[in-house]
Amino acid sequence: MTTTTAPRVSPQTLSNAFETLATRFQRDFFTSQSQREQHSHTTTWIAPQLPDAVVLVRSVADIQDAVRICARHRLPIVPFGAGTSLEGQVNAPFGGISLDLREMNRVLAVHSEDLDCVIEPGITRKTLNENLRDQGLFFPIDPGADATLGGMASTRASGTNAVRYGTVRDNVLALKVVRGDGEIITTGTRAKKSSAGYDLTHLFIGAEGTLGIICEMTMRLRGIPQSIAAASCSFGSVKGACDATILAIQSGIPLARIELLNAAQVAACNAYSKLTLPLTPLLLLEFHGSEAEVAEQSSAFAEIAKDCGGGAFEWTTRAEDRTRLWQARHDAYWAAAAIRPGSRPMSTDVCVPISRLADCVSETEHDIERFKLIAPIVGHVGDGNFHCLMLCDVNDPDEVARGHEFVHRLAERAHRMDGTCTGEHGIGQGKQDYLVPELGPEAIEAMRAIKKALDPNGIFNPGKIFPLP
């Protein structure tokens, strides 16, 4: 974890920059301690690092002016959406401003025939879907938290639906990005595919705000499926659940969601959501399609589950039953947190080839025992991606040290199994040590060269993804 306290701009420069920002942004410029605290990172055990000020932007022109003022003074800019990132992405290790984009939350256009829409980056996933529902459309990426779309793009988020609909990466058609001199880069058109030059769209997706500020997004949408069925199935072992998943994907069942909860997480959900699920690994599933398709998919999966040692396969298309089941999954974070009141929940994720997932989860469960940690596991098992929600007493240095060692070994385990240290949370500050072991120094040299090429003054979210040179 990076804990650098490296160069900040001088107090005189800061004061000059503040004067210009205050004049330009008036009541949307904040320097109060409470605003600065709200905009630094609090959802994990990474220590908050406050920005010097907060600028609330309401338009593309606002972003451009804020960037130009900051560029002139070499003041760092940390973009801020809903603040739900998990690896310190919104911290300000070198001060500067937090650029709050939440007021830029409009849907600018919906093209229902083309299944796309144009939005501002500060809109949240739920608000967007509320806007689309009337037209029978939805945006399929669901990372759990009600994140902003700009934030989701910046961390290359995904979540429970990715097994069918892909990640954010697969659902952005084009971006507009404010670069370091305030001008705007357009990365694509509304065409569904393009071979026109370098893929800038995908370069900005997952860049964690280090290459520019996303100011407009063109997103792919889907039609709301005619029928949705939910199902659950308990297994005697993680391996059984993973085997069923592999077979289902191999045989082409278009699973919309397939989530693994380990026994510890099932116990937490039972307690929190007043369920009576068996205390063994559980798969929660969702099927989308026509009524006939959904029925066929469900029965095909039920067969597979039986062959893999699954218990009773329960499925339903009734909205209230579906909601009850998936509400429990959505509340998994809170359910886990409730196991140990007063602890700081710390969510970490890795992603491995699906053939290695059962091994990876089992070894991780052994480590949790070995290090005497409390860390229920939930997994987007169709993608080979899983999370440990560690509940740590941050006032116990020994436990914190064990937690760090556990996370370190988890990343190493993912690498050993041909996987990645993060499937959907990003590198931020928390995973920087694992990037070179994962890809080698050459890839990181290429990333640094790109950073320097597109952000020569180094003002965009410095110290994220990789430490300053």
Tokens representing 369? Answer: 């025992």
Number of other residues whose CB lies within 10 A of the CB of residue 386: 26
Span of 38-46, 61-69, 246-254, 320-328 interacting with its own copies by CB under 8 A: 246-254
Q: Which of residues 92-131 bind its own copies (CB under 8 A)?
A: 111-116
Q: Which is nearer to its own copies, 179 or 404 (CB)?
A: 179
Binding mask 75-94 for its own copies (x = CB under 8 A): --------------------
List C-alpha distances in Å: 462 to 17, 100, 448.
18, 17, 12
Nearer to its own copies, 399 or 455 (CB): 455
Q: What residues form DSSP beta bridges with 257?
A: 286
Site size toward its own copies (CB under 8 A) is 95
Please tell me whether residue 155 binds its own copies under the rule CB under 8 A: yes
Q: What whole-number distance in Å separates Cα of residue 311 and Cα of residue 158?
A: 29
Residue in 47, 60, 225, 338 binding its own copies, rule: CB under 8 A: 225
Burial (Cβ within 10 Å: 0-12, 13-18, ≥19) of residue 15: exposed
Rule CB under 8 A: say whether 200 interacts with its own copies.
yes
Residue keyed to tokens 């003041």: 75
Give yes or no for residue 323 binding its own copies (CB under 8 A).
Answer: no
The minimum distance between CB 399 and its own copies, in angstroms, equals 27
CA distance 459 to 446: 19
Q: Which residues contact 153 (CB under 8 A, 6 or more apart)?
A: 121, 168, 172, 175, 204, 205, 206, 214, 217
Q: What angle do CA 192, 195, 201 make, to 5 degrees?
A: 65
- DSSP tag of 232: E
Q: Does 468 bind its own copies (CB under 8 A)?
A: no
Q: Which one among 81, 121, 144, 423 touches its own copies, defined by CB under 8 A?
A: 423
According to CB under 8 A, which residues from 270 to 299 bind its own copies? 289-290, 292-293, 296
The pairing of strands 97-100 and 77-80 is: parallel
* Cβ nearer to its own copies, comparing 203 with 267: 203
Using CB under 8 A as the binding rule, the residues of this chain from 164 to 183 that contact its own copies are 166-167, 169-170, 179, 183
The residue within the footprint of its own copies, chosen from 207, 215, 268, 302 (CB under 8 A), is 207
Q: Token pair for residue 147?
A: 């994140």
Contacting residue, 56, 92, 246, 361, with its own copies by CB under 8 A? 246
Residues 6+ apart with CB under 8 A from 206: 153, 154, 155, 156, 169, 426
Shortest Å distance, C-beta 4 to its own copies: 18
Closest approach of its own copies to the CB of residue 113, in Å: 4
251 binds its own copies (CB under 8 A): yes
In DSSP terms, 130 is beta-bridged to: none
Pattern 426-445, its own copies, x by CB under 8 A? xx---x--xx--xxx-xxx-
Q: How far is the CB of 441 from its own copies (least distance, A)?
A: 9
Tokens 């420069």 sit at which residue?
Answer: 13
